[in-house]
Amino acid sequence: MFVRQALQERRAVRNYLPKEVETEKIEALLDCAVLAPNDRLRQPWHFYVIRGEAKERFEAIAKQFLLERFPTKPHLVAESLAVLEKTPLFIVATADIIPGDEASSEDNEYAVCCAIHSMWLAAKELGLGMVWRTRGVGLVRDERLMTFLGSPENQKVVGTLFIGYPEADVPTTTRAEAASKTTWL
Ligand SMILES: Cc1cc2nc3c(=O)[nH]c(=O)nc-3n(C[C@H](O)[C@H](O)[C@H](O)COP(=O)(O)O)c2cc1C
């Protein structure tokens, strides 16, 4: 697949078939992730693969989060939990934070964003669907996630990636023309 075609066809896939993602495919995604550009080759990423029994524990902390966040909306809690249960695989991507060096820490986050995008494109090529989540059950901004991962304090969660075999084709999204977002000086 050519790069421009891959970019055009990439979609956020949120519904998956009840089928596990093979270990070799997970490894292929991670191998693509670590090819991403990164400042001074710090390779400032770490990936936490969550499946099987760990997935059940992730879902338990997500449930706590949802019950606290939406105490008066039980159907929203149930719907969100159903989304988690129907997602075969989660991968949390973190960036290394360098104490006292805000600029490099930011660059590290940008590099992880590049790595996630690489995984998103590779997922499509591998027949998988993926969405990068930062809100809600992605738990990206919830302290419980760091505790669950057992990750060091100098790692910042950049995204929780929900991955599986797509249930159906996802409708195309549209974008404003590049010209409307561009100033030629
Ligand atoms: C940084 C980032 C955070 C995102 N967070 C969420 C999220 O929390 N939940 C979600 O459903 N989609 C999330 N998305 C996916 C976007 O909603 C999706 O890319 C957008 O709707 C455009 O659809 P497309 O990717 O299929 O073109 C996120 C995407 C990015 C880049």
What does the pLDDT look like over 35-73, one tens digit per residue?
Answer: 999 999 999 999 999 999 999 999 999 999 999 999 999
Ligand 1 nearest atom to the CA of residue 138, by list position: 8
For domain 12-168, the CATH superfamily is NADH Oxidase (3.40.109.10)
Q: Where are the beta strands (DSSP E) in 45-150?
A: 45-50, 89-96, 129-133
- Report the C-alpha gap between 109 and 85 in whole angstroms: 29
In the block, residue with structure tokens 């969550």: 50
What is the distance in angstroms between the CA of the first residue and the CA of the last residue of the chain?
Answer: 34
Residue 42: what pLDDT?
A: 98
Ligand 1 nearest atom to the CA of residue 175, by list position: 27
β-strand partners of 122: none
Q: Do residues 111 and 39 touch, judged by C-beta distance below 8 A?
A: yes
pLDDT band of residue 1 (cuts 50, 70, 90) is low
pLDDT band of residue 81 (cuts 50, 70, 90) is very high
